[in-house]
Structure 1
Amino acid sequence: MKDAKWMYEDYEFDNRVANLMWTISGDYDENMDSGEKSFISKNVALYHAVTAGGRRKYINWPAVKKYVISRHRAGFNKDILLSLIAMGSDVVVEEKIIAERPGVYDIRKNAYDDILSNYYKLHTDDLLEKVRHTMILQKIGKTPMADTETRNIANDLMALQKREDTIELLKGIEDVYVKYFPMFVEGEGGDAYESGHNKNHIRGDFSDFMLEEMFEDPEDQDIEASIEEIAEALLGESQGDLANLNTANDNRILRVQEEDIEKIYEKVAYYYGNSFLETSEVKKLQNRVCKGEHGNCRIHMTDGVIRSDSKNEFQQKYVQRHQVKNIDVYRANQKVFRRNINKLRESMSRTLVQEEIVDAIPSDAGQLIPSKLWRIGRSSNNKVFVKNIDNNKGSFVVDILIDSSGSQRRNQSRVAIQAYILAMALTQLGLPNRVLGFSSFLDYTVIKRFRDYESPLSANDNIFEYYCSGNNRDGLAIKATCEDLIKRREDNKILIVLSDGRPNDIKVGKGQVNDLTEAYRGRVAIADTAREVRFARQQGIMVLGVFTGKEQDLMAEKLIYGKDFAYIKDINRFADMVIKYLKQIIMN
């Protein structure tokens, strides 16, 4: 669409839209969903940023998303429902935002002028567009010429203004939907109900959503997240190629036609950066690691869109925006983080030096010490020999593996900084280390290399390219990482995994083939990841988990890493905690 062209070519304006949303919401960890962005004009785009921020500030947006999933499962038309939610939520938040920030009034006026102008050009017969037009005229004090149905829907939506509670707002939205759009609720057989069908027979009522909210499985991420992750990965591109995606609700299976999935796979390098491995090497790696729970999975190894040959300028700018955000957070507390780097470097240096000391300890055999001979027959301590204990355990190499999935988004900058502190301390010590991030796209596990073993110190800055999207298949990422680590010549190999203890991935079902194996989540995913950690340790790799998640997921982290994991609540104590656990695994 020509009107949308600015969205992809004007990076500064796109950044302005994002900043406006963040300013209104007060939450810099949030991003606008693609459906919240406008292609009508820049004025409308700015106003949509305002309302998007308002929704996040005044409305429980995660609950809204869960509600949409629940209603979509029940057969509601998602497009109609989302339009009603957008109009209803705007009614709730608009006046609140203007009261708090009077300048928003002018932004809204300019946007409404463009929307009304665009409406007159369209001469649309679309009912929801007419409702939107009617509501805008009502808001600016004009009396619209509208048919009875349009006016009634607009009035019912305007009446939602006093519903402060999100659940009450959603109940009101559902009442409007059932009252005016009963023909857009699919029955069990896939057929739409006839207009006027008794609303009590609609498959799944509002109480179903409330039960889902109350008894939600904490291990189960929203099915909607799977769809959102694809949209995020494609970043503003047309979703036409994804039109045939279906999600099996009971097992997080994404059902895709074979011809469609191949089209999507062609774009993996375009959105994530070209592979730094030859195709033949990738196939060899996949043959070794994509087995068992990971059968039919694929691997994509990349340096990312910024540092590999990529023509995807929009994706590059997207990653650069996250890079700037991470760097800004680092610089805001730079002194503390530099202290952590220095402390960690010095602590590791002392630990390794101490390991090289040769200790002489009393013994029953070994080198005789004449000055101790008096003890024989006179003392219970008859150890008149000493034995030399060589503590030198040889050279070290370290891999740092970072969970880059969407569930880490709230901690994105914090996780990036933790990895940066580790890499800087290791590099300054002269210890070879590699830093990788991992996430999933469909059945690809994408592993991004931020620095390689022999990269210069300056390569550590690449870690700030870290951003979070998609799912995470921890077991496969650990398995693939250990393939290279185990081949290193150093005596001691350490793997440090920064994760939130929630391995969780969708499953891709190709065509109509039924596969009864469980999706990669919950106990299945935790057990698989724990198994890969144990296998790595059996191969002589010392594995340390650095927990970056919520306390409710601590048990999963313990099941995966045993006693060798660090839970670091205070970033100021990061160096102290890491060296404590590094000493522990080295001594063991």
Structure 2
Amino acid sequence: MKDAKWIYEDYEFDNRIANLMWTVSGDYDENMDSGEKSFISENVALYHAVTAGGRRKFVDWTKVKKYVISRYRAGFDKDIVLGLISMGSDVLVEEKIIAERPGVYDIRKKAYDDIFANYYKLHTENLLEKVEHAIILEKMDKSVMLDSETSKLKKDLLGLQNREDTVDFLKGIEDIYMEYFPLFVEEDGSDRKDSKDKQNSLRGDFSDFMLEELYEDDPEESEIEASVEELADALLGESQGEMSNVNKNEGNSRVLRVQEEDLGKIYEKVAYYYGNSFLPISEVRKLQNQVCQGEHGNCRIHMTDGVLRSDSKNEFQQKYVKRQQTKNIEVFRANFKVCKRNVNKLKESMSRTLVQEEIMDAIPSDAGQLVANKLWRINRSSNHKVFVKNIDNNKGSFVVDILMDSSGSQRRNQSRVAIQSYILAQALTLVGIPNRVLGFSSFLDYTVIKRFRDYESPLSTNDNIFEYYCSGNNRDGLAIKATCEDLLKRREENKILIVLSDGRPNDIKVGKGQVNDLKEAYRGRVAISDTAKEVRFARQQGILVLGVFTGKEQDLMAEKLIYGKDFAYIKDINRFADMVIKYLKQIIAN
């Protein structure tokens, strides 16, 4: 595509559209990915930035996912529902943004002019496609001949602009579906058929969808959830990017089938996107033989320092990481006083606790070391303890690993997670406790572990933590297992692992060709159970594991199942040091 390069190669323009998205959304913890950017023209790209910010501000995609799964169970056609949501969210977002920022109208007009210039002869009998074209044309004030059904559906979809929130918006989607599309219900022993008589009974109470469980094991419902995620990805730009020669297995939406000859090429892509490995291939294979077993039997490991600190020729990825690094640093500087206070508080508290633990307590005793100035007590006092005995409180030295979930689900928290890890590493380094900081995510069958600082790195190395960015999936169990392999080799008596995650381990599986050699996909109950097992195993080996929850309240139960009572839920960065101090004190004291 001739025009595809100028957006990516123009760093200033990339910043411009990112800033526009941030301004509209009001959330500087969000990213605008390549999937949201238009290659049609600068005008369209700018308008896409506006709508990208609006979708982050006005649409709750978790509620959308619950709604679609609920209606699928009731017999709704998922493709129609998703199509209506896609068009309806455009209407909802555009009008709300223009109401807040009237200047967006002019940006939209220029964008629609360029879009219209790319319209050719459109011939389709699909009602949703006809309506989509008609909505664009109406917003451009262009009259067009429409059949009555298309005209009426267009009018009803445009009416969604008055909906107040996501639930109200979904209610409007349901009303439109029930009016325009027959509800097909599959009954036992019969073909699919029209069943309008059952529509009302199948719908139930509209608010029931809010109670839907998102960790279902049913493959068909997993496919529905994946479809909604793909819709959100397309609209919010959270996709991993296009991968050639990779096909989804129809029976399991979280399983990828890859041709045998392509498996060897995957490593090249991993190194290209994430940076070359800092371990020699022999050590990587040794590590994989140790940890890639059982649930992780089809997986591989990639250990890297990232594209900025390893030999990488991926200039676009370097620019992308640098932009996120700059953004993380800007958020840190905006909260510098709070962060510095947290570092000092954490450092001083750990110093006091460790010094207290290392003090030799001398207590009066009937035996031990004689204290000459207490000899007068003999035959003169009922207290005959003229000796002291030294009690050693020293519990040994400490080493800490900080492991950050770097998957796409953490994008909303990127700067916050980076700052939390920085505070921890800075305080530990100042106290003199060896510590290592790692991030993990998944790319196809690889769990990528990025090293930000090593145990003996200088204080200045902590700045590397601001390179933290999120993409892909996350296989928490394997990341924890691989991290513990190195931690167990340390000479320190007390080994601590602090995991910052959102409680949603979620990964695909990669298989060769059509061979059915895969278990259940790594998600939901399967992934939570595996991660909890690895946490328990680490504790059995003497590693003290603390979870720091960085996700949403709806996933709090999963975090509890994984880490038990040893986890901290920190909503406010101002309380970060206090919460971590509390848990570290418990660990050190016990």
Deviation at 1:460, TM superposition (A): 0.8
**CA distance in 2: counterparts of 1:500 and 1:352, whole angstroms:** 30
Q: 1:184-226 CA deviation, whole Å, 9 max, x = no partner?
A: x9999xxx99xxx847599999849969834422546943487
Cα distance change, pair 58–369 in 1 and its aligned pair in 2 (3 A) = closer
Any conservation in 2 of the 1:8–1:236 contact (CA below 8 Å)?
A: no
**CA distance in 2: counterparts of 1:453 and 1:273, whole angstroms:** 21
Q: Does 1:359 align with 2:361?
A: yes
Any conservation in 2 of the 1:47–1:111 contact (CA below 8 Å)?
A: yes
SS of the residue 2:469 aligns to: coil
Q: Does 1:123 align with 2:126?
A: no
Out of 209, 214, 222, which is 1:213 matched to? 209
Q: Does 1:534 align with 2:532?
A: no
**CA distance in 1: counterparts of 2:41 and 2:562, whole angstroms:** 50
Deviation at 1:486, TM superposition (A): 1.8
- TM-score, with structure 1 as normaliser: 0.83
Correspondence for 1:23:
23
**CA distance in 2: counterparts of 1:469 and 1:209, whole angstroms:** 37
**CA distance in 2: counterparts of 1:350 and 1:246, whole angstroms:** 56
1:319-468 aligned at under 5 Å gives the runs: 319-369=321-371, 371=374, 385-468=387-470
Cα distance change, pair 343–39 in 1 and its aligned pair in 2 (3 A) = same
Q: Structure 2 counterpart of 1:483, which letter?
A: E
Q: Structure 2 counterpart of 1:99, which letter?
A: A
Q: Gapped runs of 5+ residues in structure 2?
A: 217-221
Q: Does 1:171 align with 2:167?
A: no
Deviation at 1:49, TM superposition (A): 2.4
Deviation at 1:417, TM superposition (A): 0.8
Question: Greater relative contact order (Cα 8 A, min sep 6): structure 1 or 2?
Answer: 2
Q: Structure 1 counterpart of 2:170, which letter?
A: I
**CA distance in 2: counterparts of 1:98 and 1:63, whole angstroms:** 24
1:109-188 aligned at under 5 Å gives the runs: 109-119=109-119, 122-126=120-124, 131-145=131-145, 151=151, 154-155=154-155, 157-158=157-158, 160-162=160-162, 165-172=168-175, 174=177, 178=181
Q: Structure 2 counterpart of 1:123, which letter?
A: K
Any conservation in 1 of the 2:238–2:408 contact (CA below 8 Å)?
A: no
Q: 1:110-155 CA deviation, whole Å, 9 max, x = no partner?
A: 1122122222xx3343566664444333334332245677656545
1:465-504 aligned at under 5 Å gives the runs: 465-504=467-506
Deviation at 1:518, TM superposition (A): 4.0
Q: Structure 2 counterpart of 1:537, which letter?
A: R
Out of 273, 293, 296, which is 1:294 matched to? 296
Q: Structure 2 counterpart of 1:100, which letter?
A: E
**CA distance in 2: counterparts of 1:409 and 1:516, whole angstroms:** 29
**CA distance in 2: counterparts of 1:555 and 1:161, whole angstroms:** 36
Q: Does 1:258 align with 2:259?
A: yes
Correspondence for 2:43:
43
Greater mean deviation of Cα atoms: 440-449 or 391-400: 391-400
Deviation at 1:378, TM superposition (A): 7.6
SS of the residue 1:301 aligns to: strand
Please tell me the root mean square deviation across aligned C-alpha atoms, in Å: 4.0
Deviation at 1:170, TM superposition (A): 2.1
- TM-score, with structure 2 as normaliser: 0.83
Cα distance change, pair 364–443 in 1 and its aligned pair in 2 (3 A) = farther
**CA distance in 2: counterparts of 1:44 and 1:146, whole angstroms:** 26
Q: 1:1-27 CA deviation, whole Å, 9 max, x = no partner?
A: 223323322232233223323322333
Q: 1:343-377 CA deviation, whole Å, 9 max, x = no partner?
A: 22222223333333222123454335573795899
Q: Structure 1 counterpart of 2:174, which letter?
A: K
**CA distance in 2: counterparts of 1:283 and 1:384, whole angstroms:** 63
Q: Gapped runs of 5+ residues in structure 1?
A: none
